[in-house]
């Protein structure tokens, strides 16, 4: 079954079971409204305490036989089965909301499940239509018939369950063996006719499987079987199920004389392919647009239906008020013309006016009796005086005995009264504690709701503040990062310049050191040569023999020194060249390192800029999403508030209607009671006059005026 067919069945279910019954939320207990809706029908208020105890016992599985005895003693059958202004009884309301424990209690305390509501449905019909298996189990357990037809169309509970595709109800009733699946309505419709006409595929499959004879049954009006109904209502899936299970398609009805094969058309594979090719695939944007248009149309339709419903309710209230007023006047006229019966007097004996009439009648009768007794009293006075002494003695003995017995009885009664008083005080204290606890629970719950609401507001404000702080911190961090990068660049340039200056200073210092070293070596060489010359001159003076040899040695030493000096100069020159080459290589490597570092810094700057841009974009998206979510929550909150306001207005209007009905009922009751009291006064006056009571004793009874205020 496709979604469209399921929606059609759900709509059918809402049309079938949707009425004034559904006045509360599913999680509410409807029995809590009984004391308000049915209070005026019960003469004993203590009934509701016993009723509440019995419902709690039935729900928790604890024994409730004492509460049942109290309910039976505090109520009459007509009170248990009383009908309110909407045509509902307590049993039909409990069946509507699936309250199985309440249904069990009412059925076992004079509740009649056959009494119908305003739709003509009994409690069994309601349980089947709403699919409440627990309630049906209670009826089956108590032996209540599940085959009773409703008076208008003759539908059984099985017909209503099949109309809304409650296959689980059919299965449970089939398993119980107490349901008659072959029973037809007044028009001859079987359960299969209803299931086929309202596209209840699961029910059709269940019925043709377990009760195959139903597919051959025809109704009494058009002589149509279940296949006719499916074809007329365009139910191809149901028709396929019926055909697959042997339902005849060549049966002709009375309306057209044609077989139903010409009414329904089964698509071929080619037709299906053609339909698939002709199907238009909508884009997401078009789907969203259509969905938005449908939501707007649905919103407008709901608003229009609510206004129409409110207008109809106002008109209904006016019409009901006029109708009830005229009906009440007619009823009061009939009550005035009706004869007074003993049952009326017995039922209204609690009225103040009737008690006053009885008191005046008794008073007048007593006065008449006193007059008769006065004449008889003198005759008996002498006779009684003879027996006074004897009786006084006997009475004295009896008085002493009676006093002793009375003292014992009074002591026992006093103990019982004290015990009863303690029990009453304990019950009153418990009820006061319970009431205080309930009020404290309500106050705590209200404080929790207010606290939660304030907490939500604080959290939202805190989130917004945190968001602003994060944005400020991020911007400050970006500024700090840029400043840090600039400082790093300046430090790098400064370090580079400083390194170049250090290298140049090192080179200058090294050249100066080498120049000083060369000058020192030249000075030493010249000093050495001067010493050598001096020694040579001394040797020439001291040793003439060895002059030539010394000259040769000196020359050789000088040449060797010169060679060593030139070789050393060459080595130092090569060392300087190697040092300069090394410095140049180091400078090139340093420049390459600086260029690579600059490139890395540029890459790092670009990466940081890109990350900052991405972060800003993400924050913009998050703010946009958060803003949209907040707007959506605000819109949903507004819709919920509007719905709550509408529901509160409806509840207030219904409560006002209940109060008006209670006031009208109280007024009508008071007027009826005044009429009964006036008739009782006239009848009593006539009766006393027949008995020969003197007119002076009846004067106050004649002057008595009775109306609805003092009845």
- How far apart, in whole angstroms, are the C-alpha atoms of residue 132 and residue 461? 47
- Token code pair at residue 92: 């039909």
Band (pLDDT 50/70/90 cuts) for residue 22 is very low
- Token code pair at residue 294: 């449908």
Q: Which residue has the tokens 């069994």?
A: 124
Task: Give me the chain's average pLDDT, please.
Answer: 80
- How far apart, in whole angstroms, are the C-alpha atoms of residue 106 and residue 135? 12
Q: Which residue has the tokens 């009676």?
A: 402
Residue 128 in 3-state DSSP? helix
The pLDDT tens digits for 551-576 are 777 777 788 888 888 888 888 888 88
Write the DSSP string, 643-668: HHHHHHHHHHHHHHHHHHHHHHHHHH
Band (pLDDT 50/70/90 cuts) for residue 547 is low
- Is the Cβ–Cβ distance between 129 and 162 less than 8 Å? no
The more confident residue out of 360 and 26 is 360
Residue 321 has pLDDT above 80, yes or no: no
Q: What is the mean pLDDT of residues 650-678?
A: 77
Residue 19 pLDDT: 37
The more confident residue out of 439 and 138 is 138
Q: Which residue has the tokens 């007024």?
A: 667
- Is the Cβ–Cβ distance between 255 and 285 less than 8 Å? no
Q: What is the mean pLDDT of residues 461-469?
A: 82
Cα-to-chain-centroid distance, residue 69: 37
Which stretches of 143-223 are assigned E, i.e. beta strand? Answer: none
Nearest to 92 by CA among 163, 172, 23: 23
pLDDT above 90 as % of the chain: 13
- Is the Cβ–Cβ distance between 543 and 550 less than 8 Å? yes
- How far apart, in whole angstroms, are the C-alpha atoms of residue 51 and residue 82? 15
Rg of the chain over all Cα atoms, to the nearest angstrom: 57
Nearest to 17 by CA among 149, 113, 117, 102: 117
Band (pLDDT 50/70/90 cuts) for residue 709 is low
- How far apart, in whole angstroms, are the C-alpha atoms of residue 221 and residue 154? 14
- Token code pair at residue 164: 């809304």
Q: What share of the chain is helix, strand, coil (3-state, %, to 5)?
A: 80, 0, 20
- Is the Cβ–Cβ distance between 584 and 544 less than 8 Å? no
Taken in order 348, 353, 359, 361, the sign of the CA dihedral is negative
The pLDDT tens digits for 211-258 are 988 888 888 888 888 888 888 888 888 888 888 888 887 777 776 544
Query: Nearest 5 degrees, angle CA 674-CA 78-CA 346?
Result: 40
- How far apart, in whole angstroms, are the C-alpha atoms of residue 711 and residue 702? 16
The pLDDT tens digits for 509-539 are 877 788 888 888 888 888 887 877 777 777 7
Run of H or E including 326: helix 284-337
- Is the Cβ–Cβ distance between 203 and 165 less than 8 Å? yes
The pTM of this model reads 0.39
Band (pLDDT 50/70/90 cuts) for residue 24 is very low
- How far apart, in whole angstroms, are the C-alpha atoms of residue 168 and residue 161? 9
The pLDDT tens digits for 129-150 are 999 999 999 999 999 999 999 8
The pLDDT tens digits for 255-305 are 654 444 444 455 567 766 776 666 666 677 777 788 788 888 888 877 787
């Amino acid at each position: 079954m496709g979604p469209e067919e399921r929606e059609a069945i759900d709509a059918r279910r809402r049309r079938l079971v949707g009425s004034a019954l559904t006045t509360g939320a599913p999680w509410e207990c409807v029995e809590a409204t009984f004391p308000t809706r049915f209070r005026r029908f019960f003469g004993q208020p203590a009934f509701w305490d016993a009723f509440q105890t019995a419902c709690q016992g039935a729900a928790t599985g604890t024994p409730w036989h004492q509460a049942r005895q109290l309910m039976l003693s505090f109520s009459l059958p007509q009170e248990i089965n009383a009908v309110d202004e909407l045509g509902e009884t307590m049993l039909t309301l409990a069946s509507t909301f699936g309250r199985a424990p309440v249904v069990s209690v009412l059925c076992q305390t004079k509740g009649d499940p056959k009494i119908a509501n305003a739709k003509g449905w009994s409690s069994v019909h309601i349980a089947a239509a709403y699919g409440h298996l627990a309630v049906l189990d209670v009826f089956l357990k108590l032996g209540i018939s599940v085959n009773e037809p409703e008076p208008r169309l003759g539908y059984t509970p099985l017909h209503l369950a099949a109309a809304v595709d409650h296959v689980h109800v059919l299965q449970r009733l089939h398993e119980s063996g107490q349901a008659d699946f072959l029973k037809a309505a007044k028009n001859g419709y079987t359960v299969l006719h209803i299931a086929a006409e309202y596209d209840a595929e699961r029910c059709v499959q269940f019925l043709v499987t377990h009760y195959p004879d139903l597919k051959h049954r025809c109704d009494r009006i058009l002589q149509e079987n279940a296949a006719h109904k499916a074809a007329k209502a365009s139910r191809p899936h149901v028709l396929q199920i019926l055909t697959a299970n042997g339902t005849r398609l060549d049966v002709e009805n009375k309306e057209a004389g044609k077989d139903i094969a010409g009414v329904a058309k089964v698509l071929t594979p080619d037709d299906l392919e053609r339909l698939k090719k002709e199907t238009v695939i909508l884009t997401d944007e078009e789907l969203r647009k259509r969905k938005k248009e449908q939501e707007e149309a649905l919103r407008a339709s709901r608003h229009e239906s609510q206004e129409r419903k409110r207008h109809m309710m106002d008109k209904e209230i006016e019409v009901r008020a006029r109708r009830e007023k005229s009906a009440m006047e007619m009823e009061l006229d009939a009550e005035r013309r009706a004869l007074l019966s003993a049952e009326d007097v017995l039922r209204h004996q609690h009225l103040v006016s009737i008690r006053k009439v009885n008191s005046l009648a008794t008073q007048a009768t007593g006065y008449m009796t006193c007059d008769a007794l006065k004449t008889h009293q003198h005759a008996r006075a002498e006779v009684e005086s003879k027996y006074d002494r004897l009786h006084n003695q006997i009475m004295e003995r009896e008085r002493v005995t009676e006093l002793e017995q009375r003292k014992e009885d009074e002591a026992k009664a006093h103990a019982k009264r004290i015990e009863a008083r303690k029990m009453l005080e304990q019950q009153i204290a418990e009820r006061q504690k319970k009431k205080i606890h309930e009020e404290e629970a309500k106050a705590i719950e209200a404080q929790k709701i207010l606290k939660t609401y304030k907490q939500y507001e604080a959290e939202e404000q805190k989130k917004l503040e945190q968001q602003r702080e994060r944005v400020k911190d991020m911007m400050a961090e970006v500024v700090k990062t840029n400043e840090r990068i600039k400082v790093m660049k300046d430090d790098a340039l400064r370090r580079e310049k400083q390194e170049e200056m250090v290298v140049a200073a090192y080179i200058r210092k090294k050249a100066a050191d080498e120049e000083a070293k060369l000058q020192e070596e030249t000075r030493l060489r010249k000093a050495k040569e001067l010493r050598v010359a001096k020694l040579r001159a001394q040797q020439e003076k001291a040793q003439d023999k060895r002059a030539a040899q010394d000259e040769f040695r000196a020359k050789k030493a000088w040449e060797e020194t010169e060679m060593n000096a030139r070789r050393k100069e060459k080595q130092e020159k090569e060392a300087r060249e190697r040092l300069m080459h090394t410095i140049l290589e180091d400078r090139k490597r340093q420049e390459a390192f600086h260029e690579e570092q600059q490139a890395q810094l540029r890459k790092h700057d670009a990466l940081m800029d890109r990350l900052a841009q991405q972060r800003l974009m993400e924050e913009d998206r998050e703010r946009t999403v958060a803003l949209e979510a907040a707007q959506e929550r605000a819109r949903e909150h507004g819709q919920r508030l509007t719905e709550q306001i509408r529901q509160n207005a409806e509840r207030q209007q219904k409560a006002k209607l209940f109060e008006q009905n209670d006031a009208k009922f109280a007024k009508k009751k008071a007027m009826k009671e005044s009429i009964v009291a006036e008739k009782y006064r006239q009848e009593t006056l006539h009766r006393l006059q027949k008995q020969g009571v003197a007119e002076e004793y009846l004067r106050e009874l004649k002057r008595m005026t009775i109306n609805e205020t003092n009845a």
